[in-house]
Amino acid sequence: MPVNNFPRTHEIFIKETIRMLDHLIINLDTTAETSLQSQIQQSVVEAILARAILPGDKLPSSRALAGQLGVSRNTVVLAYQALIDTGYIQPRERSGYVVSIDAPVSHLAAVPGVAGAEDGGEGVDWRDKIVAACSDIRPVRKPLNWREYPFPFVYGQVDDELFSLTAWRDCARQALGMRNFGRMVGDFGLSDDPMLLNYICSRSLPRRGITARPEQILVTLGAQNALYLVAQLLVSGDRWVVIEDPAYPDLRDILQQRTDRITALPVDTGGLVIDEPTLAGSDVVFITPSHQCPTTHTMPADRRRALLDLAGRHDFLIVEDDYEFEMNFLESATPALKSQDRDGRVIYVGSLSKSVFPGLRLGYLVAPEPLIEEARALRHLILRHPPGHAQRTLAYFMALGHYDAQIRRLRRHLAGRRRALQRALESHRLFTQSASHFGGTSFWVRGPDWLDSRQLAEQAAADGVLIEPGDVFFAPGSSPLNYFRLAYSSIPEARIAEGVSRLASAVETVRRARG
Per residue in 338-388, pLDDT (tens digit) is 999 999 999 999 998 888 888 889 999 999 999 999 999 999 999 988 998
Quick count: other Cβ atoms within 10 Å of Cβ 396?
Answer: 23
Domain annotation covers residue 217? yes
* Residue 217: alpha-carbon gap to chain centroid: 21
What is the pLDDT at residue 159? 80
Identify the domain boundary among 400, 433, 468. Answer: 400
Same domain, 28 and 100: yes
Q: Are 377 and 412 found together in one domain?
A: no
Instruction: State which amino acid sits at residue 337.
Output: L
Residues 232 and 340 in one domain: yes
Q: Cα–Cα–Cα angle for 80, 85, 88, nearest 5°?
A: 70
Cis bond leading into 476, ω under 30°?
no
CB 36 within 8 A of CB 494: no
- Contact of 83 with 89, CB cutoff 8 Å: yes
Total domains present in the chain = 3
Are 74 and 156 found together in one domain?
A: no
Both 342 and 269 in one domain: the answer is yes
- The DSSP call for residue 439 is B
Q: Are 338 and 223 part of one and the same domain?
A: yes
Helix (H) or strand (E) holding 287: strand 284-287
Maximum average pLDDT range among 209-213, 324-328, 408-412: 209-213
Contact of 391 with 192, CB cutoff 8 Å: yes
* Domain end call among 350, 378, 400: 400
Cβ-count burial of 120 within 10 angstroms (0-12 exposed, 13-18 middle, 19+ buried)? exposed
Q: Confidence class of residue 300 from pLDDT cuts 50, 70 and 90?
A: very high
CA-to-CA distance for 157 and 125, rounded, in angstroms?
39
Residue 328 β-bridge partners: 439
- What tens digit of pLDDT does each residue of 402-446 get? 999 988 888 989 999 999 999 999 998 888 988 887 888 999 999
CA atoms within 13 A on the CB side of 150: 17
- At 132 the pLDDT is 81
Same domain, 226 and 287: yes
Position 124 in a domain = no
Domain CATH code at residue 1: 1.10.10.10
Per-residue pLDDT of 188-197, as tens digits, reads: 778 899 999 9
Q: Are residues 393 and 422 in the same domain?
A: no
* Contact present, 485 and 442 (Cβ < 8 Å): yes
In this structure, what CATH number is given to the domain that contains residue 288? 3.40.640.10
What's the whole-number average pLDDT of the chain? 88
Dump pLDDT digits (tens) for 108-147. 566 666 555 555 557 888 888 888 888 888 888 888 899 9
Alpha-carbon gap, residue 242 to 475, rounded angstroms: 12
